[in-house]
Structure 1
Amino acid sequence: MSPVLDDPTPPGSTAAPAHQRRKAERPQELLDAALALFVEKGFAATRAEEVARRAGVSKGTLYLYFESKEELLKAVIRERLSSRIAAAADFVASHEGSCADLLRNVLTLWWSDVLRSDASGVFKLVIAEVRNFPEIAEFYFREVVDPGQRLLGAIIERGIAMGEFRPLPVEMVVHSLVLPMVMLCVHKHSLGVCHPSEALGDPQHFIQQHMELLLHGLTLPGGDPGSSGSPGTGTTSVAPESRPT
């Protein structure tokens, strides 16, 4: 029987026939298969036909959707990470209120979502192999690193301008926020597979604690910028008479 006749869609339904739905799902199936294999075997060691086989299609079908293995990896990065950053940017743009709360929400929700999904594997993949693929490195910087840093940097700058955060170097703060999260993803797909860490067993709790650790170093007492020391030092001034001799 043809797939159309076997399709259980009720008569008169506007749902697409089964073979059309299957065709529409193929790009996502190829992305899922590609990411799984790239993380397991590495990008360079994975062949296009292996991706096609895991997705249940022919190599020729893969090339109908993606013209090369490099374009397939770019699509994985765009779908797994770039789209999430764009969604976070919309959330940040609509936020009103505390910048500390905004950072907590953005980073905890964003990174928890990434860590629960296979998107976390992209970081291990990029760190391990992107140096050998300059085109992918440039794409990753343009699609993930640059927009992610600008997004967080804007929150930090807003907090400084509002007198809520200390006037610290914005780029340094962004790196302090992000790099431990990247390493958490790398750990999940490397040492964490063989030697799970009890402290990292609950990624969301770790992220929340990480955020509190950093925010206590950023937030001024009472949000009063006058209580800080010299701009950029992050220290509180000490009256001369109270200094130790």
Structure 2
Amino acid sequence: MTEGSSVSRDAPARVRRKDDRPGEIIAAGLAVFGEHGFERARMEDVARRAGVAKGTVFRYFPTKEALFEAALISRISPVFDGLAAMVERPDASARELLGNALDAIYAQIARPELSALMRAIIAEGPRFPAILESYHRLSISRGQAVLARIVERGIESGEMRRGAVADLPMIIMAPAIMTLIWQATFGLVQPVPPERFKAAHLELLDGLLARPAGP
């Protein structure tokens, strides 16, 4: 009886440890990609940092590309899941939706691991199309859909005016993309807090908002 009780107490701990393992490997992968980039990152380094055998890493992530995509999903998908739900709020104005979207995006930009992923995508994406495709599918295309919906609602409500920006909603995020690139490249030379970029970004968005006709 005592022995059986001991086994039952230990089993949940082992299950929890096994369930935590993919997240631990992803966190280790983020660190290794950040230090070495995509090409020079090695799965054995990921395994060592995660405290598991190399075979365990491949059991969950059969390729380095699969691990990189999992890292993107872990950091990006929750953001766009929240934005997709937020944009359908019937009581929110288009300007409020844009502000909330920027809050979520700039909160992610402030995270060092996202800058590390962006460095890898910018520097190595042309040589590794799989990571470009993953980022486009998981981030860019979902962001475009959210922006298009916000602009559509803004035009319907009269808050936004039609024009070149409304026809190409992705341009709304140009300052955020610049912020990402800045943080990933020149951030050490000339650091600029993401909050300043966000404030300037919001001010630029005023050009998209409808204005009453002049005299």
Write the letter of the residue equivalent to 1:174: M
Distance, in Å, in 1 between the alignment partners of 2:44 and 2:58 is 10
* 1:158-178 Cα deviation digits (max 9, x unpaired): 212222112123354422x32
- CA drift of 1:73 comes to 0.7
**Which structure 1 segments of 5+ residues have no match?**
228-235, 240-245
Distance, in Å, in 1 between the alignment partners of 2:173 and 2:47 is 34
Which of 137, 146, 154 is residue 132 of structure 2 equivalent to? 137
Write the letter of the residue equivalent to 1:134: P
The 1:118/1:149 distance shift into structure 2, 3 A limit, reads same
Which of 202, 210, 215 is residue 211 of structure 1 equivalent to? 202
Is 2:24 the partner of 1:29? yes
Write the letter of the residue equivalent to 2:119: K
Percentage identity across aligned positions? 36
The 1:95/1:127 distance shift into structure 2, 3 A limit, reads farther
- Aligned residue number for residue 152 of structure 1: 147
Question: 1:1-245 alignment to 2 at 5 Å?
Answer: 17-116=12-111, 118-169=113-164, 170-175=166-171, 177-193=172-188, 195-197=189-191, 200-201=192-193, 203-214=194-205, 216-221=206-211, 224=212, 227=213
The 1:95/1:206 distance shift into structure 2, 3 A limit, reads farther
SS in 2 for 1:164: coil
Distance, in Å, in 2 between the alignment partners of 1:100 and 1:48 is 44
The 1:59/1:18 distance shift into structure 2, 3 A limit, reads same
Distance, in Å, in 1 between the alignment partners of 2:72 and 2:119 is 12
Higher relative contact order (Cα pairs below 8 Å, separated by 6+ residues): 2
- CA drift of 1:16 comes to 6.4
CA contact (8 A) 1:99 1:159 kept: yes
* 1:8-37 Cα deviation digits (max 9, x unpaired): xxx7xxx96333222211111111111121
- CA drift of 1:204 comes to 2.4
State the number of aligned residues: 210
**Which structure 2 segments of 5+ residues have no match?**
none
The 1:16/1:178 distance shift into structure 2, 3 A limit, reads farther
CA contact (8 A) 2:115 2:180 kept: yes
Q: Structure 2 length normalisation: TM-score? A: 0.86
* Bigger proportion of residues as helix: 2
Say which one has the larger Rg.
1
The 1:42/1:206 distance shift into structure 2, 3 A limit, reads same
- CA drift of 1:39 comes to 2.0
Report the aligned-residue RMSD. Answer: 2.5
CA contact (8 A) 2:179 2:197 kept: no
The 1:171/1:127 distance shift into structure 2, 3 A limit, reads farther
CA contact (8 A) 2:176 2:201 kept: no
SS in 1 for 2:135: helix
Distance, in Å, in 1 between the alignment partners of 2:174 and 2:35 is 23
SS in 1 for 2:187: helix
Q: Structure 1 length normalisation: TM-score? A: 0.76
CA contact (8 A) 1:31 1:72 kept: yes
